[in-house]
Amino acid sequence: MITLADDRGHLSYTVTGEGPPVVLLHAGVADHTMWDAVVPTLAERHTVIRYDLRGFGESAPPTGPFSETDDLRRLLDHLGHERVRLVGASWGGRVAVGFTLAHAERVHSLTLLAAPWPGYDWSTEMIAYDEAETAALDAGDLDAAVRVNLDMWLRGPARVWDDVDAALTERLRGPMRTCLANQDTVGEHSQGRADGDIATIAVPTLVGIGRLDVADFQDISRRYAAGIPGASLVEFSTAAHLIALDAPAELTAALGPFLAR
């Protein structure tokens, strides 16, 4: 990967293909490799940009205050892209929303795959997950914290482990361990998200739902689809929270015509 350094550490990124630029923003339990299965098809028509958020993958944990919106802007400036198509998964989706609200003139289109909703009234299932992760991290048991997250975000509430490709579990385990190890540092220095009214988003928007995901995120995806003017909604019947891992062919089939608009 290529490194973009600054006084708070560095971002690691990769660029594949040629054509109109597309930025893929990974989930908060993964890194840029979660997109591996969709990049080859997208790169046939687009310049595909992936990077690890600070404290994820190969990007260094922050050593001082930072903004994920500013990080994305700096990376685009560095690469010379004035306007891009954004595709964000989970927390990466929230970063994409924040960037669109702050820099609408730089966004050609927006795709949200299971993005969180600020201030959402989480279910007892989500609260129990958070408590289990916190207990594992407080006990210094990183392996247990990884298991809790794999169970919630990869397997999901609607499947047993026999239904999940074992190779996906092993692919996600390392990136998940890295982000959990750096979670406190990232949280200490993050300056938070860019706020605003999603009803002001005026770019073409595609919202994806994994039908095997936690019910909270299915509800949130429908909120985004209803709240962003003209947004389209697509459901992925074989996917839980991480659609790019569970249903890469179906995702690229949906993204192809949308990104070509």
The CB-side HSE value for 71 (13 A sphere, CA atoms) comes to: 34
Cβ 212 vs Cβ 240: under 8 Å:
yes
Q: What is the pLDDT of residue 196?
A: 86
Q: pLDDT tens track of the chain, all 261 residues?
A: 999 999 889 999 999 999 999 999 999 999 999 999 999 999 999 999 999 999 999 999 999 999 999 999 999 999 999 999 999 999 999 999 999 999 999 999 999 999 999 999 999 999 999 999 999 999 999 999 999 999 999 999 999 999 999 999 999 999 999 999 999 999 999 987 667 899 999 999 999 999 999 999 999 999 999 999 999 999 999 999 999 999 999 999 999 999 998
Q: What is the pLDDT of residue 193?
A: 66
The CB-side HSE value for 205 (13 A sphere, CA atoms) comes to: 28
Q: What are the chain's domains? A: 2-121+186-259 (3.40.50.1820)
Q: What is the pLDDT of residue 194?
A: 67
Q: Which of 243, 169, 181, 174 is nearest to 206 (CA)?
A: 243
Q: What is the pLDDT of residue 79?
A: 97
Cα–Cα distances in angstroms (integers) from residue 55 to residues 33, 145, 221, 227, in the given order: 15, 17, 26, 31
**What is the model's pTM?**
0.96
Q: Which amino acid is at 44?
A: E
